[in-house]
Structure 1
Amino acid sequence: MKNRHESANVPVWAIEAVEIQKNNPKWLDKGAKERETLYKLLSPFGIKEVEHIGSTSIPHLPAKPIIDLMASISSMNQLKKIRDVLTTDGWHYVSPELDMQPWRRFFVKVKNDKRFAHLHLVKIGEKRWEERLRFRNILRANPYLVDEYTVVKNELAKKFRNDREAYTEAKTDFINRVLSIYHE
């Protein structure tokens, strides 16, 4: 049985293996720079917040070397114009049909045929906005959770090396457990 990528003309970055690298302190700087650039590009469209989320935003946490960013927007009415602006900065739009996450619009920034950054564009009020920020902040404040998540991520990266979606889905239990137990 073919997976959804085998029959399509898919760029190499879209089917990269899951590779976890030891934490790189430069990720925080890269996240800050990319966040600033995105804010400048997107503020004319009413975007007031851009956040560095995901594992690269958490000190000492190994991660895929991809800077995850999230921006909030009041409506998707200007999506075509946003896509045009982001394209000039090296971002690739992933359609909702391919992304399969209807709560967001997803962009990937590519450098040297590898994913460099992800942008999750979400509507203001989307519950995942708060969840992702809470999870990031909880891990930043709890080094023992960073250690536990490191073990989870490494095990799952081995198990799902060639299936990024399954890897991401498999982390959900840990993330939900942390969110249900810890409060800021």
Structure 2
Amino acid sequence: MSVVVEQYNPEWPQHFERIKSTLKLFLSEVDVLSIEHVGSTSVPGLAAKPIIDIDIIVTKENLDDAVSALVRHGEFTYLGELGIVDRHALRDPDQRPPRNIYVCVDGAFQTRNHLSVRDTLRSNPELRDEYGQIKLQLAALDLNIVDYIDAKSSIIQKILTKAGLLATEELAAIHAVNKKGHRQGAIKTNRLVLREFVMKDVAPFHALESIPEVVRYQTFEPRTLEQAKEEVVKIIQNSCVTPRAHFELAVVHEGNFIGRVGALLKRTDEHGEALNLPHANLWFSFIPESHGKGFATEAMRAFIPVLPSPNILEIECDPRNTGSWKMAERLGFKKVSLTEKAYECKGEWVDSLVYQKTVWVSADL
């Protein structure tokens, strides 16, 4: 999903006012300090992604009440802090127009960050135009949102330094948040794009994981739409945890979601002792229409180098799941164990087949 940046639209403040009116109804029983239009759409004359960013500013004591009110009255989806302390993201089910809603703690440096950027750009046309030009140039490069945010972190630092309202350590913290870290930009192969999950993936993820054939050898039944949404939220939340342990990317072919690849990285044993090498348990699932075309192998070859190395890669599966163990063999994994009746799954005892491969520097696949 490439970032789209548009020239300033004078309707954006009007959109904000309408959304604000609805938010005030949902929050009528909560002591809210202010509801602020932030982000680039709040700066007259600035090119921006056509997404209305809104900060609902509350005291720490009223944070939970504000979040609960939006979930209860507005059926918002709570996404958590997403790696940014005291800024809580929620997904508004009404995305006409698209919007980002945050409940922010008053006085927190991330709250001051949003307000400082907005106010500085409103009062400094030269800096506003420089920022807008950079945004348009980056959008022309066909970047996804992770790479886009990373690429404009330097100009954001320039704006914040000009504002002069944040301490040096706060500027450093904001710079670290804007750098992508373990979050992945678009990974492109000959036929595929691998990228981080977004909330728009709920429907295609449900379409995938609700197919009995796809989950035949999983410990869970076909997922409901609500379960799919909960899983996508967890994937998004886990992508922001540092150090990252849960890596999971959507796989896209010709603009369509066709599957997912993932890994859970273990750095300690069951006693909390550090492992000699981290252990990465891998998984993948793809829509049946994509089977037999090499998409899963192509995706896994691109995905594995994303994982921190050195590590021990592992694919564990029911031996009847020929797709999994044949994938392991194509990737150069070696069979290390076969345990009969290892665990009970969906009312039957199943065997466990384990393949492993050690990666020291970079994956040679």
What TM-score comes out, normalization by structure 1 length?
A: 0.76
The answer to whether structure 1 residue 59 and structure 2 residue 47 are counterparts is no
* Aligned pairs (5 A) from 1:116-135: 116-135=98-117
CA contact (8 A) 1:160 1:167 kept: no
CA contact (8 A) 1:108 1:115 kept: no
In structure 2, the partner of 1:170 is 151
In structure 1, the partner of 2:139 is 157
SS at match of 2:98: strand
Q: Comparing both chains, which one has the higher relative contact order based on Cα–Cα distances under 8 Å and sequence gaps of 6 or more?
A: 1
In structure 1, the partner of 2:92 is 109
SS at match of 1:77: helix
The answer to whether structure 1 residue 100 and structure 2 residue 83 are counterparts is yes
The alpha-carbon distance between structure 1 residues 57 and 128, as it changes in their structure 2 partners (threshold 3 A), is same
Number of positions where the alignment pairs a residue of Structure 1 with one of Structure 2: 162
CA contact (8 A) 2:84 2:110 kept: no
| Per-residue deviation, 1:109 | 3.0
In structure 2, the partner of 1:181 is 162
In structure 2, the partner of 1:72 is 57
After the TM superposition, which segments of 4 or more aligned residues of structure 1 sit over 4 Å from their partners? none
- In structure 2, give the amino acid aligned to 1:60: G
Match of 1:30 among 2, 12, 15: 15
CA contact (8 A) 1:74 1:124 kept: yes
Structure 2 distance, partners of 1:132, 1:57, is 11
CA contact (8 A) 1:71 1:121 kept: yes
| Per-residue deviation, 1:39 | 2.5
Structure 2 distance, partners of 1:77, 1:182, is 30
Structure 2 distance, partners of 1:92, 1:116, is 15
Match of 2:72 among 84, 96, 111: 84
Percentage of identical aligned residues: 27
| Per-residue deviation, 1:82 | 3.2
The Cα RMSD (Å) is: 2.3
Structure 2 distance, partners of 1:166, 1:100, is 17
Name the structure where strand makes up a greater proportion of residues: 2
CA contact (8 A) 2:77 2:91 kept: yes
The alpha-carbon distance between structure 1 residues 119 and 111, as it changes in their structure 2 partners (threshold 3 A), is closer
The alpha-carbon distance between structure 1 residues 167 and 110, as it changes in their structure 2 partners (threshold 3 A), is farther
Unaligned runs of 5+ in 1: 1-15
- In structure 1, give the amino acid aligned to 2:21: E
The alpha-carbon distance between structure 1 residues 116 and 110, as it changes in their structure 2 partners (threshold 3 A), is farther
CA contact (8 A) 1:109 1:115 kept: no
Name the structure where helix makes up a greater proportion of residues: 1
Unaligned runs of 5+ in 2: 166-365
Structure 2 distance, partners of 1:126, 1:55, is 20
| Per-residue deviation, 1:118 | 0.7
- In structure 2, give the amino acid aligned to 1:63: A
| Per-residue deviation, 1:160 | 5.7
What TM-score comes out, normalization by structure 2 length?
A: 0.41
CA contact (8 A) 1:54 1:68 kept: yes
Deviations along 1:114-155, whole A, 9 cap, x unmatched? 771111111122112122112111111122112101121122
In structure 2, the partner of 1:145 is 127
The alpha-carbon distance between structure 1 residues 155 and 59, as it changes in their structure 2 partners (threshold 3 A), is same
The alpha-carbon distance between structure 1 residues 111 and 22, as it changes in their structure 2 partners (threshold 3 A), is farther
SS at match of 2:140: helix
Higher gyration radius (CA): 2
| Per-residue deviation, 1:35 | 1.9
The answer to whether structure 1 residue 18 and structure 2 residue 3 are counterparts is yes
CA contact (8 A) 2:33 2:59 kept: no
The alpha-carbon distance between structure 1 residues 125 and 32, as it changes in their structure 2 partners (threshold 3 A), is same
Structure 2 distance, partners of 1:115, 1:102, is 27
Structure 2 distance, partners of 1:132, 1:53, is 6
